[in-house]
Structure 1
């Protein structure tokens, strides 16, 4: 029998976050994926460098790939330094890859990387989300909701 999956991922050190994704997309389901990195990429991430703001994930040839993620060159690297925006392979189970491919192909969803982090064992992981894009009126509604929650906090703080 398979082990039950944890609902919250074990994030020890978050390196990069995609904060705009919660505003731009309706997030449906989350996945934790390993990421295949070169040595200097791991070192750059451990120094806290990296950005996934404009990146996305895709499934091609039965494999998942992280595209357009920027991990800058390691400052103390030599001629073996890595290319900053190369596509990086995501390490997922085949069943998960097939599920993601089906959702992207049939339902018109996108794969958004939410964060890159190191787990408790020191492995670099990527948190992926299956997402649907928001329309303009949905974005306005989420802004109104966020402002109202902020105002509620102010009112409760002033009265209580």
Structure 2
């Protein structure tokens, strides 16, 4: 059987980009059990409440929902469990110092397969205030309206 190539996205956390200002992103491997991998390959996962943390020099991903595998039996996994993240030691130390510094948190942005291996994109993020969120929405709406006006003017001119 040929090896998988490319990237297949399983789940994205779109709300994270709305709620947080993304400072830096990291790609981390995941330590998973067999039924978790099968469930992910079926395209089932949710990153909505997920977060990452560093404990005793190890990075962990918590509260990410990977549902039980339908064909699994007693070997099935609990849907919400702590999963170890695979990062380089220097990356873990850097993230740990930033989070301890205050104001920063680790948020999962995307869960995907890269060349057949499960990966998660985590972000070093700072929480947005309510007015920042409203301002970002307003800017997005203004940009959309401007693009509409430009495109309608192109059709009128021709």
Question: Displacement of 1:157 after TM fit?
Answer: 1.1
Question: Displacement of 1:149 after TM fit?
Answer: 1.1
Alignment of 1:13 with 2:13, yes or no, is no
Alignment of 1:111 with 2:86, yes or no, is no
* TM-score, with length taken from structure 1: 0.91
Superposition pairs of residues 85-104 of structure 1, within 5 angstroms: 85-104=80-99
Selected match of 2:50 from 45, 50, 55: 55
Query: Is the radius of gyration larger for structure 1 or structure 2?
Result: 2
Match of 2:141 in 1: 147
User: Runs of 4 or more off by more than 4 Å in structure 1?
Assistant: none
Question: Displacement of 1:107 after TM fit?
Answer: 3.5
Match of 2:119 in 1: 125
Name the CA distance, whole Å, in 1 between partners of 2:56 and 2:12.
27
Name the CA distance, whole Å, in 1 between partners of 2:95 and 2:153.
48
- Would you say the 8 A contact 2:103–2:127 is kept in 1? no
Q: Cα RMSD between the aligned structures?
A: 1.1
Name the CA distance, whole Å, in 2 between partners of 1:67 and 1:45.
16
Selected match of 2:152 from 125, 138, 158: 158
Structure 1: unaligned runs, 5 residues or longer: 1-9
* TM-score, with length taken from structure 2: 0.93
Question: Displacement of 1:152 after TM fit?
Answer: 1.2
**Helix, strand or coil: the match of 2:135?**
helix
Match of 1:66 in 2: 61
Number of residues of Structure 1 aligned to a counterpart in Structure 2: 150
Structure 2: unaligned runs, 5 residues or longer: none
